[in-house]
Structures are given as C-alpha cells and as structure tokens.
Chain A
Amino acid sequence: MSAVDFDALYVAQWRPMVRLAVLLVDDLHTAEDVVQDAFVALHRRSGALRDAHAATAYVRASVVNLSRSVIRHRQVVRKHLKVAEPEHVDGPDFHAMLSAEHREALAALRQLPPRQQEVLILRYWSGLSELEIAATLGISAGSVKSSASRGMATLHKTLGGMR
C-alpha cells in the first residue's frame, strides 16, 4: 500500500476539483472530463507521491494544465471550424442562476488573459498562497504577484466603471 489512499482522495477531492475546473473551463461536462483525466494521471503515479497533500497538489496542477489545453483546443476549433460549434461554449446554463453582479464579475474575469484568470481563481476560490500558486502553475512567485495585480487592476476598471 502506498502512502496515498487513492480512493479516499478521489472521494474527498472530486467535488472541489470539478468546481475548480468549472471555473476554469466554464462548462460542467468538460470540467468533469478534465477532473477524470487528472485523477487518471494521479492514479498512474500515486505510488510515487509522498502524502495526500502532495497528491492533491498534483491533481490540482493537472486540472489547471488540462483546462488550459481544453481552452486552447476550443479556440483552435472555433477559429478553423465555424460550422458545428459545440453548444454551451459561450454561455453555460448555470449562469442563469447567478445574480447580475456575479455574472458581471465572471464575465469581466473571462476577458483577462488565461494566466491572470488562473492566478485569480486559485487565489480567490482555491485560497492558495502565492507560493502554492507558483508551484501549481510552475511559474515564479514574482509572476504570480504581477499577474494577480494586473488582473485585479483590470477588474477594478471594468467593474467599477459600470456603475
């Protein structure tokens, strides 16, 4: 038996990871696929990981990376395939349940460059520290700081100016 109890981790972390993914990819179906793939990746190497904390960090990093490639793929598909665009790409149903100001905030977030979105989601939803975000994204703490402050500056401008 390895140090990481895979099944327990899967049960405990599945929902938080899908929530993180849905914030990144904006579509529940894709989010669940991304998380499944992330756990498959973990499953392949769970024996190599020290503890549950490291395993969780590994899954989280996979979720962010896989989400990024999903989004990139989506953009390529949209650019080259104007016909038969998959449904749900620009307005997932759950948005209808949100209040107007929350929808506004999310719409403003979507306008930011991908890196800034990732940093802000990991900071304001996952509640990670700068160092943890840096480790998750594989960038320096300085880049985390600058991405966060640039992203927030833009949000202040967009959301502040609307009222």
Chain B
Amino acid sequence: MNRDVDKLLAEALHTAASTAVRDDRRPPVFEPDRGRTTGPLRRRHAWLALLLTAAAVTAVVATSLTVASRLSGHSAKPGALLPTKPPTATHATQPATHAPQSSAGSSAPAGPTKAVHVSLFQGDGQTYGVGMPLIAQFSKKVTDAHAFDRAVTVRVNGKPANGAWFWVNSNSGYAMEAHYRMQDYWPAHSKIEMDMPLKGISAGPGLAFDDSLTLELNIGASHISTVNGTKEEMFVTTDGKPVKTLPVSLGKAATPTYLGTKVVMEKKNPQLMVSAPGEANPYSLKVPWSVRITNSGEFVHAAAWNTGNIGSRSTSHGCTNLKVADAEWFYKFSNVGDVVTYTNTGTAKTVPSWDGFADWNVSWVDWQAGNLLKNQ
C-alpha cells in the first residue's frame, strides 16, 4: 500500500494533539510571579498575588488546625473562624516526618499553592448502562485524597451510594483520574447525583482543587451479556431477562480475547480497524456496527468475512465477531456503560482494569482501598 506520508503525519499530529489536550481542557489561573520574576507585578494581576497569599496563609492555618484537632480529639469545621495564632505547642509535638508535608504554604519562597483542575468524563442528563463508573479527571497529580473523599457525595435515587473512589493514571492525557463505583452495578433505571464541592480543598501539600462540580445522570435498563468461548455464543439479558443468544467467533490462540468484565465505551458505524504493528497479516478495514469494549481495541462487531466460523471457531484478532444482522441488532441495543463478561476465551489473561472501563475486574476490597491514593 503506497501511502501519503504528508497526510499521515498531519493526521497523526492533529489526533495526538487533540487527544492529549481535549477541547474542554481549560487554562489554569495565570500566575505571573511564577518562574522567579523579580520585577514588580502588573496592577491588573496584583489581586491574584493577594489571593494566592491568602490561600497560602489559609493552608498553613488549616493544616495546623487539622493537626491540632487530631491531637486534641476535636474536629475543626471548615468555614469556622480561624484563630489568628495557631497553638504553638502542637507544632512542637508534630512528628518530624510530618513537618515538611504540612508546610504547604509556609515555604513561601517555594511558591504558592498549585491549582488542580477537576473535570468530569460524563455530562449532565445523559443515560448510561449499569456498569459505567463515574470518572473525575485532574490536571495535576493529586497526592492526598482524604479531603476529596470527605467532600464528595454520590447518591442513587436520593440515597447515599456507599461506593468508593479508585485513583488511577489517566489513559486520556490527564495527570490522574478517579473512578467511582459501588460494590455491584448501579441499580437499573436509577438516577445518580454527585456533588463535588472541591474548590479550595486540599489535594495534597501545596495543591488545592480549583473546581466545584455537580453531576446528574440516569442509568438505563440493565444490559448484561455473557460471552462463553467454549460455546462460541453470547447470551444477552435486559433487566435480568434473556433477550437473545448470538453465535460469536472470538480471538484465535495467537490473539486471544481477554477474560473478565468489559464495559461498552463507544459505538461506531463504521469503525476503522488497523492491525497492531508487527502482526503477521496486517490489515486496515472499515468495520460496520462496531461496539468498543476495551481501550486496547476489542470490539463486538459485524464480520461478514468470518461468517463461516461464527458460532463454531475462534478465529479473530481478539474482537468478538458477530454475523452482520446480529451485530446491527447488538449495536442498536447497546448503550455506553453496558456490561459484557467473557469466560473460557482460551487465555488466562483478564482484561486490565485500566483498559477502558474494566473497573469491575478489581475486587471490592482492593477497590475500596483506593489504589494509588488511600481513601480513608
């Protein structure tokens, strides 16, 4: 295949740039005194410096208050009047290892508190399947999740959700992400409300969240499909009732389909699919009725070329091949957030939890612990 390298390069750069920096990414508050400027501040930015100084002072006082309350057993309410002088005795009894961490604002020459911007993957009013984790995205790495965990509330049909946040590296160009789920899937036909009053709250020493957000979304019918590699079939249910059993062809021995629970990420008709670099028989195809279930590139899709093997043999590159009419039906049936679970795919490898929305492959005990950051 003779390709136009100019065009390919332009496309690759464009895609990389807009994938790394999404359109909804906003600039941080400009900090003119960053980079050790010695000159005088311009007047129109002077208020900023004032704000930052105030934030730094608040951070110091708040930190010493927290320490004080931890030691004395009292709790300090946010928003309570701050004492002008922190109790010096508590400073003296601080463990040495804690001292450098708690100096968020006291190390004045090191610079002001850095803002951590928060954005949400989901949008208000949308409807998702029962397996959809809530996803918060951060512009800087959060180093302490305790304040976040205390501040954020999630409700299902008006009641506290009792789920937990799981802190992960981002696959989509953010510095970090936190995913929220309950022990089991969301209840079908429910309403999720999240309140994230984070603005000004600590994200770790020297870091403060910069956004307060809310989210309201709906969960649709419970679509749970189970794919069994031994039988080469996919058993589709809605709200617990069987709907259809579809014959499939899964990944061949050299390119097996991952085991485990995957979640519908997006739908494309058609989807361009390209072989992994170095694959023996490279391909580049536009595939109709494609439902993406992993970031790494597993789809449930129409495979007209493979009809002879569908229902009897695993011959694909890892995707779940369906007959064209079945694929069209599944495409129209599926919503982002629907669940597809795989068994007996001929491999011992379970889909990694970070590959798409495969968050359900983490045990509830591990999930509650919070992963990269501790929740409690």
Contact = CB atoms under 8 A, between A and B. Distances in A.
A68 interface: no
Contact of A125 (B10, B37, B174): B10
Nearest to A87: B169
A156 to B, nearest CB: 5
A94 B20 contact: yes
Interface string A117-157: 00011001100000000000000000000000000100110
Contact of B9 (A7, A96, A99, A109): A109
A97 B171 contact: yes
A160 B5 contact: yes
Contacts of B171: 93-94, 96-97
A57 B20 CA distance: 23
B15 interface: yes
Nearest to B39: A44
B169 A124 contact: no
Given A10-B30, A22-B20, A124 B6 contact: yes
B27 A20 contact: no
A51 interface: no
Interface residues of A, number: 48
A162 B5 CA distance: 12
B172 A163 contact: no
Interface stretch (B67-75, B193-201, B271-279): B271-279
Interface string B13-38: 11111111101010110111011010
Q: Tell me the dominant secondary structure on chain A's binding face.
A: helix
Contact of A105 (B9, B20, B25, B42): B9
B320 interface: no
Given A37-B34, A98-B12, A19 B18 contact: yes
B20 A28 contact: yes
B282 A152 contact: no
B365 interface: no
Interface residues of B, number: 52
Most chain A beta carbons < 10 A, residue from B8, B18, B31 = B8
B139 interface: yes
Contacts of B280: none
B262 to A, nearest CB: 16
A50 interface: no
B32 A43 contact: yes
A163 B11 contact: no
Contacts of A92: 20, 173
A155 B45 CA distance: 46
B1 interface: yes
| Of A11, A100, A155, A159, most B-chain CB atoms within 10 Å | A100
A18 B5 contact: no
B9 A124 contact: yes
Contacts of A105: 5, 8-9, 11-12
Given A97-B171, A152-B6, A125 B32 contact: no
B284 interface: yes
B37 A99 contact: no
Contacts of B27: 10-11, 14-15
B17 A101 contact: no
A36 B172 contact: no
Contacts of A20: 17
Interface in A1-44: 7, 10-11, 14-15, 18-20, 22-23, 28-29, 31-32, 36-37, 39-41, 43-44
* A-B complex: 5 closest residue pairs judged by Cβ atoms: A14-B27, A19-B17, A105-B12, A102-B12, A94-B173
26 contacts: A7-B30, A10-B30, A15-B25, A19-B17, A22-B173, A31-B20, A31-B21, A32-B139, A37-B34, A39-B30, A41-B35, A93-B171, A94-B16, A94-B20, A96-B296, A97-B172, A97-B295, A100-B276, A103-B277, A105-B11, A109-B12, A121-B13, A124-B9, A125-B17, A159-B5, A160-B3
Interface of B: 1-3, 5-6, 8-21, 23, 25, 27-28, 30-32, 34-35, 37, 39, 42, 44-45, 139-141, 169-175, 272, 274-277, 282, 284, 295-296
